[in-house]
A and B are shown apart, each in its own frame.
Chain A
Amino acid sequence: MLQYSPDFLLDLYARMVRIRHFEESVKFMFLEGALPGTIHQCQGQEATAVGVCSVLRNDDFITSTFRGHGHALAKGLTVEELLCELFGASTGCCKGKGGSMHVGNMAKGMVPGIAIVGGGIPVAAGMALAFKMQKTDRVAVSFFGDGAVAEGAFHEGVNMAAIWNLPAVFVCENNLYGASTHISQVMRDTNIARRVAGGYGIRTEQLDGNDVVAVHEAARAAVEECRAGSGPVFLELLTYRLTGHSRRDPGHYQPKEERAAWSEKDPIPRFAQVLRDRGIADDSVLEAIAQRIASEFDEAVEVARNAPQPTVEDLLTDVFV
């Protein structure tokens, strides 16, 4: 930890707080009826997105899922372009045509979210192949859940990346559930990292996905290997969603004790404690970060609320017809 500057660590913290604040605030907007459709949120999983994206450059690419708000904020999309997208405004990151499940911004290295479980994995392998053929050192990172591991697309993407040594990092956010189904009901060996290592012959690592610094370090090693031509790498990040699968899911299948135990491992208070213990920040510093993020969010709401909606003429632009 000593090798990191306080600014870097505080930035990791602020990025996680930004995601949490975004998700919690958006939750209330949804309850108020201000947002269309449902939303899939990532409270409790902030450290995976922030830790991994902290080692990426703007020209590295990520793919994400239906649960993409955190990945987007971590990859550098602004609160404003995301909020506008959630409001369906034409100033949103996908011009209001994607919505919550498809946030992304190609200029910032994020393919709009792919809601088909496992769908981003072959896309990342394809991008990694392009990066390799173009002889760049760019890296493609795919975020997906434990549920994706049983998809055919997972096998095709990971296998292809493996046989061609592609610069791809596969990041499995294992939060124990695919919707309401516990991993033990859909896999015999629930150690995904072990299975992937054995099955595809690539380097894999399983680690605490709620420890943002540990995730940063594992991701840095993985990305360095990829840039050096010895990818791909598979990371299994053990984490937990402290909210329903979607806003319409109360999450009754998560046993109370299990949820309580994982609340204790909530990555944000946990990292705040580390920062305090190391004398990097006291409560007033952390408070100032929270305030800054809250007002940044409030300003973005104001913009999103008054942003123009797409017009009928926009119906046929940016789509295949």
Chain B
Amino acid sequence: MRFELKMPDLATTDSEIRIGRWMVEPGEKVHRGQPLLEVETDKAAMEVESVVSGVLVEIVSQVDDAVSVGDVIAVFEVADTAKSSPMTRSAPEAAPSASDRSAAGTSPPPVESTPRVAEGAKGGMFARKRGAASPAGYDEGVRLTVAERTASKRLQESKQTIPHFYLQTRFKASAILARREATASVKLTWDAFFVRAVARAMGRFDRFRRRLEGDRLVPLATLAVGVAIDHAGELFVIPVVEPADKSVEEISAEIRANVERLRGGDADARMIRPAAMTISNLGVCNVECFLPIINPPETAILGIGKVAPCVVVREDGQLGVEPCGTLALSVDHRVAGGRYAAEFLDAIVRELESA
């Protein structure tokens, strides 16, 4: 008989639960207690065990879907004689008995009791959670996804608890443009240049290679520069580890590969791995300059605006036109003062201009 697996009540609030990964495929046989999928709740990532033994027929909720408690997420075919539901069957696989007690015969005749409990007159918990359908045309508002809620919490905390200050400047982009043209066949990402410039500048600014813990600046074991990525509306940071030792080509390839992994739904690529600082590039979106919020526990973040031809005053006082971009560095004032950060930003500019 058909058995519809519903999302258990695993979240601590009424929030949605995101499907992280399925560990079985349609057609596969599963047993009760076997981990079926990974989900992300408002509080933790966890595995969900099967409540039945049978064959997985259909996966209803796909990876990344946000589902509510009680939603059908998969369909199984279970033997009519199987003691499939704990409502009729209760021998746990983990029971301390010496032999397998899954043999039939110890329980009352199987009844399709789960739906009776969940949807019967008394109403199971899932039934109680569901509100009545809203009237047509009424916009209930858009609920933030689990990831969005996590991100908004972190960012709000950052903005409210880290004393940010901001430094803005311009850099000449001709060296980068020339380098990109020279290697036109591989098409280097812009971000690779910024990652490398930041990493190399960091080499001379010890405070930016540390993290604030209490009233101590502790050194970071590995130096990574993060690249902020907006994937399908969700914010991710791809860390490039020890980029100062890598060529622009290597960094560029690494960023591209990681973006692909993210798009492919690789759960590992979605893990949060803090970097020393992050770069965030909105230049492609025609933004001239913006002041980004620090991504804790990092101590600074670099906002990058668009590169475009600009009027510049040359050393001889003449006007000229050169491709330039803007940079804005947001800094945790507890970690660095204005002058120190200004020199750091200047070092980044010099790295970029000699790309």
Residues of A within 8 A of B (CB): 16-17, 20-21, 24-38, 43, 247-250, 252, 266, 268-269, 272, 283, 286-287, 290-291, 294-295, 297-298, 301-302, 305, 309
B95 / chain A contacts, CB cutoff of 8 Å: 17, 20-21, 24, 290, 294
Provide 14 A-B residue pairs closer than 8 Å at the C-beta atoms, listed in order of the A residue: A24-B92, A30-B9, A31-B51, A32-B118, A34-B125, A38-B9, A248-B11, A287-B101, A290-B97, A291-B106, A295-B106, A298-B108, A301-B86, A309-B122
Residue B44 interfacial (CB < 8 Å): yes
- Check B126 for interface membership: any CB of A closer than 8 A: yes
Decide if B9 touches A34 in the complex (CB within 8 Å).
no
CA distance A43 to B92 in the complex (A): 12
B81 at interface by CB-CB < 8 Å: no
Instruction: Known A-B contacts: A24-B92, A35-B125, A248-B10. Give 7 more (CB < 8 A).
Output: A21-B95, A24-B95, A28-B32, A34-B114, A43-B94, A298-B89, A301-B90
* Contact between chains at B43 and A248 (CB < 8 Å): yes
Which residues of chain B have a CB within 8 Å of any CB of chain A?
6, 8-12, 32-33, 41, 43-49, 51, 69-70, 85-99, 101, 106-108, 113-114, 116-118, 122, 124-126, 128
A34 & B98 in contact (Cβ 8 Å cutoff): no
**Do residues B101 and A31 form an inter-chain contact, with CB atoms below 8 A?**
no
Is there an interface contact between B92 and A33, defined as CB atoms closer than 8 Å?
no
Closest to B69 in A: A33
Known: A32-B8, A248-B12. A21 touches B86 (CB 8 A): no
In contact, B87 and A33 (Cβ under 8 angstroms) = no
Q: Which residues of A contact B8 (CB under 8 A)?
A: 30-33, 247
Say yes or no: A249-B49 contact (C-beta < 8 A), given A34-B124, A305-B113: no
Q: How far is the CA of A141 from the CA of B95 in the complex (A)?
A: 29
A268 to chain B, nearest CB (A): 4
Majority DSSP secondary structure for residues of B touching A: loop
The number of residue pairs between A and B whose CB atoms lie closer than 8 Å in the complex comes to 131
For B114, the closest partner residue in chain A by CB is A32
User: CA A11 – CA B88 in complex, angstroms?
Assistant: 26
CA distance A151 to B317 in the complex (A): 74
Q: Which residues of A contact B107 (CB under 8 A)?
A: 294-295, 298
Q: Which residues of A are found within 8 Å of B98, using beta-carbon distances?
A: 272, 283, 286-287
Query: Which residues of the partner chain B approach A31 to less than 8 Å between Cβ atoms?
Result: 8, 48-49, 51
Question: Chain B residues near A272 (CB, 8 Å)?
Answer: 96, 98
A248-B43, A290-B95, A309-B122 given as contacts; is B90 within 8 A of A32 (CB)? no
Nearest 7 A-B pairs (CB), nearest first? A24-B92, A250-B46, A268-B96, A290-B97, A28-B86, A25-B90, A33-B126
With the chains together, A269 CA to B125 CA distance in Å?
35
* A29 close to B86 (CB less than 8 A): yes
Name the residue among A266, A269, A297 with the largest chain B CB count within 10 angstroms: A297
Contacting residues, chain B, for A297 (C-beta < 8 A): 90
Query: Across the interface, which residues of A come within 8 angstroms of B97, CB to CB?
Result: 17, 286-287, 290
Chain A CB within 10 A, most for which of B89, B96, B98: B96
CB distance from A266 to the nearest CB of B (A): 7
Task: Tell me whether B96 and A32 are in contact (CB under 8 A).
Answer: no
Beta-carbon contact of A294 and B96 below 8 Å: no
Cα A298 to Cα B117 with chains together (Å): 15
Of all chain A residues, the one with the shortest Cβ separation from B125 is: A36
Q: B99 — nearest CB in chain A belongs to which residue?
A: A287
Whether A33 lies near B99 (C-beta < 8 A) is no
Q: How far is the CA of A287 from the CA of B107 in the complex (A)?
A: 16
Contacts of A247 in B (CB 8 A): 8-10
Q: Pick the contact of A33: B9, B46, B96 (CB < 8 A).
A: B9
Closest to A31 in B: B8
Q: Are B47 and A33 in contact, CB atoms less than 8 angstroms apart?
A: no
Cβ-closest chain B residue relative to A30: B8
Which single residue of chain A is at the shortest CB-CB distance from B85? A32
Docked CA distance A88–B48 (Å): 25
Residues from chain A with a CB closer than 8 A to the CB of B85 are 32
CA–CA, A269 and B99, complex, Å: 12
Contacting pair B117 A302 (CB below 8 A): no
B87's partner among A34, A37, A43 (CB-CB below 8 A) is: A34
Q: How far is the CA of A239 from the CA of B31 in the complex (A)?
A: 29
Cross-chain contact of B96 among A20, A27, A301 (Cβ < 8 A)? A20
> Complex formed: what's the CA distance from A268 to B77 in Å?
34
Please give, as numbers and ranges, the residues of chain B lying within 8 Å of A27 by CB-CB distance: 92
Contact between chains at B117 and A34 (CB < 8 Å) = yes
Contact in complex: A248, B41 (CB < 8 Å): yes
Bound Cα distance from A250 to B126, whole angstroms: 21
B residues in contact with A37, CB < 8 Å? 125
A43 to B93, CA, bound (A): 13
Centre residue among A25, A32, A35, A36 by max chain B CB count within 10 A: A32
Q: Is the CB of A301 within 8 A of B87?
A: yes
A253 to chain B, nearest CB (A): 10
Is the pair A28, B51 in contact by a Cβ cutoff of 8 Å? yes
B101 touches A290 (CB 8 A): yes
**CB-contact partner of B45 in A21, A35, A250, under 8 A:** A250
